Amino acid sequence: MKKLSVIAFASIFTLEVVVAQRIDMQHVTAGIRSYGGYMFSNRVELETHGYSSLDLYAGLRTLPSDDDIYALSYGYPEYGIGTCVCLSSMIDVPGESYFGNYYSMYGYFNRPFIRKGRFTAAYGIEMGMAYNPVRYDPVYNPLNLYVSSVLMVHAALSFHSDWRIGDNMTAGLSVRAKHYSNGRTALPNLGLNMLEAGVSLRYAPSNSEARRSMKVEESFDKRVNFHIAAAGGAHCTKSDWTRFNVREMAPGHKSTVFKAYPRFSISADMLYRYSIKAASGISLEMFYSPDVDILERNDRYVYGDMEVDSAPTYSPVSAGVALAQEFYYRNFGLFFTLGAYLSEPAMGLSDDVSWNYQKAGLRYYIPSWNNLYIGLGMKANDFRESEYIELSIGVEIVVISRH
């Protein structure tokens, strides 16, 4: 059900991209990018780090002829759907272990920030899902600690520079920082970080220059937005990994599948939307972790009753406060939070969470649902450890403050 929900959300995103704007040959663009990349090792010593990657993409561009305040405020961006084949099987792993290739589909959004004659420079984001058929196995593939689930998140930040070489073609250079992770829906989950550079070829029927004369803010009403939301996700605990894999010495007895336990949260945000593109504010959240009895059971097995009895208590409830930032494009919101727990979560010796947390994700505001929105995001700790991927539903309450 969880994976079906993720796929449904991705389908809504794809549909929005297709219908958001009238499709004609002036707006359509397509291209190919070829990368060479470097994989950063994360607690695994690799013999080689290099690989190649190939992307095909198709999207829609906004043009100066479009009467669209969002397009104008973002410098006439481009957005669409991309596919990627990452040949990480080229990387040599010590012993008999090996990596497989990643196959992903993602939505992208590129925002130009330089337009000068034939030259254009843009930065972009990518968010989507990835698949890798080669997964961790404690006996046959013990060093592939990056792939332990069928589906993973594809997330990337990119920079593109393009030079028009004809009426309809551009050639360019691209740099991309890419991340694959299952968001702790399975273990092991080290997360994979990659840096890529490559060349591109792009087809675009029109190469109109963007105008910059109109002031966007003149037609925008500044406002205060209140969000009330409920969210849920699935989390694999480190204590299961310690008990059934690290402490188990016999390879044939190690576990390959770990149970994912539900985790929930409710939140209340207050954001001041000071421009058509962005809002900033604060978020209060309450978290519920019903797997604390599992944490205590595992801790007693691994560390003993005496150490557990002298450790912090176990409580399923914790609360946090966070700085919140959201960026908007039409009915989409890209949100980030930087938070700290009001008191250290009572998770015993499990080390499942830290004193701080971060969230990032995408929201889709459904116009026909009276300010309701659905969201897909990831919660992390210490800027490095994924805790869970969450699905959320919420409502936005808007208070107009000033024209």
Flag whether pLDDT at 242 surpasses 70.
Answer: yes
Q: How far apart are the first and last CA of the chain?
A: 44
Flag whether pLDDT at 10 surpasses 50.
Answer: no
What is the pLDDT averaged over residues 34-40? 96
Flag whether pLDDT at 15 surpasses 50.
Answer: no
Q: Which residue has the higher pLDDT, 7 or 373?
A: 373
Contact of 87 with 113, CB cutoff 8 Å? no
Q: Which residue has the higher pLDDT, 302 or 89?
A: 89
pLDDT of residue 329: 94
Question: What are the φ/ψ torsions at residue 309 (nearest 5 degrees)?
Answer: -65, -25
Residue 353 pLDDT grade (very low, low, confident, very high; cuts 50, 70, 90): confident
Residue 336 pLDDT grade (very low, low, confident, very high; cuts 50, 70, 90): very high
How many CB atoms lie under 10 A from the CB of residue 375?
21
Contact of 126 with 334, CB cutoff 8 Å? no
pLDDT of residue 23: 57
Residue 396 pLDDT grade (very low, low, confident, very high; cuts 50, 70, 90): very high
Q: Which residue has the higher pLDDT, 284 or 184?
A: 284
Closest among 353, 334, 333, 335 to 344, alpha carbons compared: 353
Flag whether pLDDT at 190 surpasses 90.
Answer: no
DSSP structure class, residue 246: I
pLDDT of residue 2: 42
Residue 21 pLDDT grade (very low, low, confident, very high; cuts 50, 70, 90): very low
Task: Using CA atoms of 92, 95, 96, 99 in order, give the dihedral in degrees to the nearest 10.
Answer: -30
In tens, the pLDDT along 112-124 reads: 999 888 899 999 9
Q: Which residues of 331-366 are buried (b: 16+ CB within 10 A; e: fewer)?
A: ebbbbebebebeeebbbbbbebbbeebbbbbbbbbe
What the chain holds in terms of domains, given with CATH numbers, is 2-203 (2.40.160.20), 216-402 (2.40.160.20)
For the chain, the 3-state helix, strand and coil shares in percent, each to the nearest 5, are 15, 50, 35
Q: What percent of the chain has pLDDT over 70?
A: 89
Flag whether pLDDT at 397 surpasses 90.
Answer: yes
Secondary structure, 3-state, 270-325: EEEECCCCEEEEEEEEEEECCCHHHHHHHHHHHHCHHHHHCCCCECCEEEEEEEEE
What is the pLDDT averaged over residues 27-52? 92
Residues 6+ away with beta carbon under 8 Å from 398: 223, 224, 225, 226, 371
pLDDT of residue 107: 95
Closest among 126, 175, 184 to 154, alpha carbons compared: 126
pLDDT of residue 18: 46
Residue 387 pLDDT grade (very low, low, confident, very high; cuts 50, 70, 90): very high
In tens, the pLDDT along 103-157 reads: 999 999 999 999 888 899 999 999 999 999 999 988 889 899 999 988 899 999 9
> What whole-number distance in Å separates Cα of residue 118 and Cα of residue 112?
13
Q: In the predicted model, what is the mean pLDDT of the chain?
A: 87
> What whole-number distance in Å separates Cα of residue 172 and Cα of residue 197?
11
**Is the peptide bond preceding residue 188 cis, with omega within 30 degrees of 0?**
yes
In tens, the pLDDT along 291-300 reads: 999 999 999 8
What is the pLDDT averaged over residues 183-212? 82
And the tokens for 8?
Answer: 């449904």
How many CB atoms lie under 10 A from the CB of residue 268?
14
Flag whether pLDDT at 22 surpasses 70.
Answer: no
In tens, the pLDDT along 202-227 reads: 998 765 554 544 455 456 789 999 99
> What whole-number distance in Å separates Cα of residue 374 and Cα of residue 394?
7
pLDDT of residue 176: 98
What is the pLDDT averaged over residues 166-180? 94
pLDDT of residue 215: 52
pLDDT of residue 125: 96
What is the pLDDT averaged over residues 226-254? 86
Burial class for 397, CB neighbours closer than 10 Å (0-12, 13-18, 19+):
exposed
